[in-house]
Structure 1
Amino acid sequence: MNDPGTSLGGGFDPRDIADWQALIGDDLRVGDPARLVSRTEDGLEVRPLYTSGDFLTAPPRAAETVRRLGHIGAEANGRIAEAVTEELGHGATGVFFELSTPAHSDGLAVEPADWAAVFDAVQAEGSFHLHATADVLAHARAWLECGMGNRTGCELGLDPFRVVTRSGDFDGLDESLASAARLGAEALTHPARPRAFALDAQPYSSAGASCAQSLACLLSALVQTLRALEVANVDPARALQTVGLCLRLDPHFFEQIAALRALRLLHGRVAGACGVESAAPLHLTALPDDRMLSRRDPWVNMLRQTSTSFAALVGGADAVGAIAYDAKLETSSVLGRRIARNTPLILAEESRLGLVQDPAAGSWFLDSMTRELAAAAWEFFQSIEAQGGLGATLKSGWLLERLQVQQAERQERLVRRKQPRTGVSEFARIDEELPAAVAAAASLVGGAWPRHGFDDAFETLRAAADRHTITHARPSVFLARTGSPAQYSAREAWLTNLVAAAGIEAIASDHEREMAAGFVVSGAATAILTGDDDSLAAEGPALARALGKFGTVWAVGRPSTDLEAAGVSGFVHLGIDVVDVLGELLTEQGVQR
């Protein structure tokens, strides 16, 4: 047996943090380990080394068992009860109903009077969660009248802030919030005390919010809701019980894990400020962020939602949901809905992620990020409160203006492929056959907040190319090779991948000795010189002059005065605005955008 007095570190020279930093630099051959530090959208550092000083204890989740929510949306129209039964009978332990509005048909079309028949037809057990952006009070009251106040774990889905960002009616917010608070007070008188409010981060993230900004907006929504409930004679402790929060997750799962844990810390801080020292744990729902889902190569959405489900379970969400990978198409498939249902099921049950209260505890990296995210969110929350609170900043436009600044910065990274999107901006499949037609983007009501997607700019280009292909040949560019295969192959492969993001085919010549003839035969309006710097310098000018007689000429590489003098009109290289360049190439091919 080992001597209990033996030190495992005995006999070794003492080491401090500087020694470990130096070891990192040597092992990874970067010299200064500071070169390995990256930053999140909120400017938070991600360092290569963390210590026990970063340890944090996060509050526990509210429920012992994580609820797995099936999605009931537009695909269930005409068969709502059947769809609910299908979800609850095949692994889901609850469902969330996503309702459409008069201006947006991307959800479930149901009237408040229809709920009684739906619930009468559903025999399976499970929790029900309502997500509506129109007639919310009428739907919530209908739920109470149908006995949802007696069903454990149900959520009436009240969120006046989400409603006004979709309708643009910001002047009606105060009245809507007061009415919702009165209904929330009424819900607390029912036996099961269903949560009346489900404050959702989707409006803020869709408008461009960063992770910390989304947390801050949710926190400000929570505070204003608590104030409204106080006016409705609900004390803070009971008010906190009837308000749930819903965070929308993207595939950056380390940051999302930290965000979920940070939200619990922030909720506890608000509860303490309300004088509630032993508040009931926050009920936290985690759903996929709509802006991360792509219309092109939608199968990648399965991987994205695996990441969000993993983050939700590790981050301590009480309810986890996913939606069909092909939800952005006109019709989602049975396969898509089954995979959405099974993804959190497998992670929770087979990987056992749902059995631990805080799986991230003890990861000094995640503990540090949790603390820093909470601090950043609290700072932005204070800025919102200094402007009069969430309602005031919605009406004045102050909040949207700041979220749009964040969106512009993100868009700059997306269009330059510094934030690549697999299947869209990178590795696009030019010959892909989608399982259904691409759904049109929802139109916005006047005054409503914008709903940005990560892939909007690229998918707009791809849609234009596809429309052109209906009556014309697919847009194409001609690859004009210089030098040997060893010299042109790398840049040619890079270029082929790049132009495919806009639905443009790259055509190589079979007649390398007769490049001009190959350009003419290809039918392309643009030739792009490929090769390394040496071969472009040696052969590029003469080739550009020869090809320029039959169309425009571009080159892969940094701008060159010699090539410009020879008639090269554009250069494609790392760091360019890819959307701008691809749009120009489409225009040269006669594509109407």
Structure 2
Amino acid sequence: MSDTPVAPPVSFAEFPAVTTAEWQARLARDLKGQDPATLRWPLPDGFSVEPFYHREALAALGGAPAPLPHPVAPWLNVPTLQVPAGEGREQIDQAAAALANGADGIHFILADAAAFAVHYLAERLPLARTFIGYTVTGGPDALLSQLVETVPGTALRGFLRFAPGPVPEGAELADYRTALRRCVSLTTGMPDFRALAVNGAFFGNRGATIAQQLAFTLNTAAALLAELPNEEISAAQVAATLHVHLAVAPSYFPELAKLRALRQLWATLLHGFGLPAALNANLRIHAATSSWTLTTLDPHTNLLRHTTEAMSAVLGGADSLSVAPFDALFAEANDFSGRLARNLSVLLREEASLGRVQDPAAGSYYLETLTDQLAQEAWLQFQRLEAAGGLPAARGLMLEEIKAVTTETFRRIASGQQVVVGTNRFQQAQEQFSFHPKKLLRSSAFDVTRAAYPTEVLRLATALHFERREKKSKRAAVVLLGSNTNQIILENFIQTLLPHERPEIAASHPPGTLSLLYSSPEEATLMYATPEQFQKFARFIYQIPNEKQHFIPPALLSSDMATLHEAVRVFGFKEMKVQGYTTEQVLARLQGR
């Protein structure tokens, strides 16, 4: 507009320009002869971050990239509420209270969408004005139909995420095309409601690298764009109702660059489908703090992780953000941790003013380079998977690649190369748990798809053993420590030994076995078993017939000592021996005692 004041150019004339050569000379002096190359930071994505960037970095990109599309208004603060089977009236009331105390919207994860009290929802939260997200495991079109019928003529705000099972959304379309197409039709003309989700968080919360997360997110979106359009629904309609969910981890600058790279890649993907460039600005990103990096040990460290995750998300350009409570792994939803999670976003917006600048990373030599490198690597991986058939055909390959990365992550954490504060470094030696380890390990809801799980479950299991010994309990237990972690446990123990005392280790255990801890008042023994052995063992302990399908054993199995000891023998569990050390000594070393 003609009356808009023009900002004067920013100038720092009092500071002389410093050339790249001058910076490098200063670096060499400060490093006192050390090669700057030793300061390179290798990323799991296949390239390294340099210790120094200057204006030549932008020249290498062809000049400073244009600022990316960015939310016009500050991001929406959208807490997540789990709704168990039933009408969910309690959670709807909690949502209303959260909206009155700093939240801008609510994300409901519904265990049973068909039973959800939609009429009560409309009474408590005006659907025309309230941003509401819904994650459902079945009947997405039925829920949308009910919402539309409850408030006829109202344009909804928010999003719908259909998560039909333990696979990434979009990877299994054959059974759901009709329902998803109906979702598109029902929300046509609702620009503030996105009915199709591309769940990149699925990959992030299972330990994928950033480049993998971006690539597999694009593969998922490509499957939706290729499969859903028909005579009634165009590819442009599908693209207009897509939105992306991302999990944001604590690696501050790479995670910030991840969101920026996604916006770059989204434009390339839409161009590949012949869609208008204007649709790129239409992309909506819902970010959530990562469950992959949550810990049960020293859980207040999760508050710190969530702070850096939230900052990366909003500075990277997220349209909405969900911050999980720090105790979400082991505690029921409660006002205290819920308020802390909700207020984190409020503090960043109201007190840190992070919502006042659009694309604040634009022009940064480092972040523009990092954004470009992540985008290039992700695009190569995306093309490779598409060449292998795309989704759903290449789903197995995709999951195998993630598994390889997570196995290496577990190894790095166990060996101490990768630090998890409070879990494998800087632990509380006499930590008092605010939860009961036995109950947590038995819970089917306990999230085992986390980076710290193999390390923390060993610590919880040994804590239970020492408690049992002190109480002289008459029972014994077998704790499942994890799959494919036998070698990791041994390597972790070796790292605790001084070089002169490292013994010869017994022959490697068979690949694909499970790590177990057998615990009685008298002894604690590290063992291993095949998945089949453990499955039969668990069925025997719980007296579950073999013909019953889909039985998932809990991580903790307990019984009287005689029964459990005999069952361990009958089902063929083998002891993991470290020559020269008893299991008690191994456990004590792993616990840092």
- TM-score normalised by the shorter chain: which range applies? 0.7 to 0.9
- Number of the residue aligned with 1:540: none
One-letter amino acid matched to 1:274:
F
Does the C-alpha gap of structure 1 residues 182 and 433 become closer, same or farther in structure 2, counting only changes over 3 Å? same
Counterpart in 2 of 1:72?
A: 81
Going from structure 1 to structure 2, the CA distance change for 1:150 and 1:159 (only over 3 Å counts) comes to farther
Offset at residue 435 of structure 1 (A) = 3.4
Write out aligned runs for 1:416-427 (5 A).
416-427=415-426
**In the alignment, which residue of structure 1 is the partner of 2:201?**
202
Work out whether residues 224 and 389 of structure 1, in 8 Å CA contact, stay in contact via their aligned partners in 2: yes
Give yes or no for contact 1:150–1:190 (8 Å, CA) kept in 2. no
Decide whether the 8 Å contact of 1:196 with 1:242 is kept in 2: yes
Any idea what SS the aligned residue of 2:400 has? helix
Does residue 131 (structure 1) correspond to residue 135 (structure 2)? The answer is yes
Identity %: 26
Residues 441 and 73 (structure 1), Cα distance of their counterparts in 2 relative to 1, 3 Å cut: farther
In the aligned structure 2, how far is the partner of 1:457 from the partner of 1:241?
A: 41
Q: Match for 1:303: what amino acid?
A: L
> Residue type of the partner of 1:95?
I
- The runs of 5 or more residues in structure 1 that have no matched partner are 1-5, 101-108, 445-449, 476-501, 503-552, 571-578
1:228 matches 2:227: yes
304-313 vs 30-39, greater mean Cα deviation:
30-39
Q: Which of 553, 559, 576 is matched with 2:499 structurally? A: 559
- SS of the counterpart of 1:128? strand
1:79 aligned counterpart, secondary structure: helix
Distance (whole Å) between structure 2 residues aligned to residue 50 and residue 463 of structure 1:
44
Q: By how many angstroms is 1:314 displaced? A: 0.6
Question: Once the 2 structures are TM-superposed, how far is the Cα of residue 232 of structure 1 from its aligned partner?
Answer: 5.8
Match of residue 47, structure 1, among 45, 50, 53: 50
Distance 2:235 2:496 in 1: 63
- For residues 248-302 of structure 1, what are the alpha-carbon distances to aligned partners after superposition, in whole Å with 9 as ceiling and x for unaligned? 0101111110000000000111122222122243101110111111111111111
Please give the per-residue CA displacement for 1:436-491, whole angstroms capped at 9, x wherever unaligned. Answer: 445348759xxxxx96201111111112122213322399xxxxxxxxxxxxxxxx
Q: How many angstroms apart in 2 are the aligned matches of 1:148 and 1:68?
A: 27
Matches within 5 A, 1:110-121: 111-121=114-124
Pair 1:90 & 2:94 matched: no
Secondary structure of the equivalent of 1:291? coil
Report the Cα distance in structure 1 between the residues aligned to 2:168 and 2:225, rounded to whole angstroms: 22
Match of 1:454 in 2: 451
Going by fraction, where is helix more abundant, 1 or 2? Answer: 1
- State whether residues 184 and 242 of structure 1, in contact with CA within 8 Å, keep that contact through their aligned partners in structure 2: no
Of 141, 148, 153, 1:144 maps to 148
In the aligned structure 1, how far is the partner of 2:277 from the partner of 2:190? 25
TM-score by length of 1: 0.72
Count how many residue pairs are aligned between Structure 1 and Structure 2: 477
Q: Secondary structure at the match of 2:419?
A: coil
Structure 1 residue 217: Cα displacement: 0.9
Distance 1:9 1:430 in 2: 50
Distance 1:63 1:384, change over 3 A: farther
Given the superposition, is the C-alpha separation of residues 277 and 591 from structure 1 closer, same or farther in structure 2, using an over 3 Å criterion?
Answer: closer
Provide closer, same or farther for how the CA distance between residues 62 and 281 of structure 1 changes in structure 2, counting only shifts above 3 A.
farther
Match of 1:533 in 2: none
- Cα deviation, 1:558-590, whole Å, max 9, x if unaligned, reads 432xx68xxx889xxxxxxxx999967783269
Q: 2:223 and 2:191 mapped to 1: Cα distance?
A: 25
Q: How does 1:370-519 map to 2 (within 5 A)?
A: 370-394=371-395, 397-437=396-436, 439-440=440-441, 452-473=449-470
Note the C-alpha offset of 1:166. Answer: 7.7
Partners of 1:261 and 1:458 in 2: how far apart? 33
State the SS of the aligned residue for 2:384: helix
Bigger drift between 215-224 and 126-135 goes to: 126-135
- Identify if the C-alpha distance between structure 1 residues 232 and 251 changes in structure 2 by more than 3 Å, giving closer, same or farther: farther
Aligned to 2:167: 165
Query: Who is 2:157 aligned against?
Result: 153
Amino acid at match of 1:215: L
Contact 1:255 1:369 in 2 (8 A): yes
CA–CA distance in structure 2, aligned partners of residues 428 and 21 of structure 1 = 39
- Separation in structure 2 between the aligned mates of residue 215 and residue 440 of structure 1, nearest angstrom: 33
Amino acid at match of 2:273: C
What TM-score results when the alignment is normalised by the length of structure 2?
0.72
What's the C-alpha RMSD, in Å, of the aligned pairs? 3.6
**1:149–1:190 contact (8 Å) kept in structure 2:** no
On the 8 A contact 2:207/2:292 being kept in 1, the answer is no
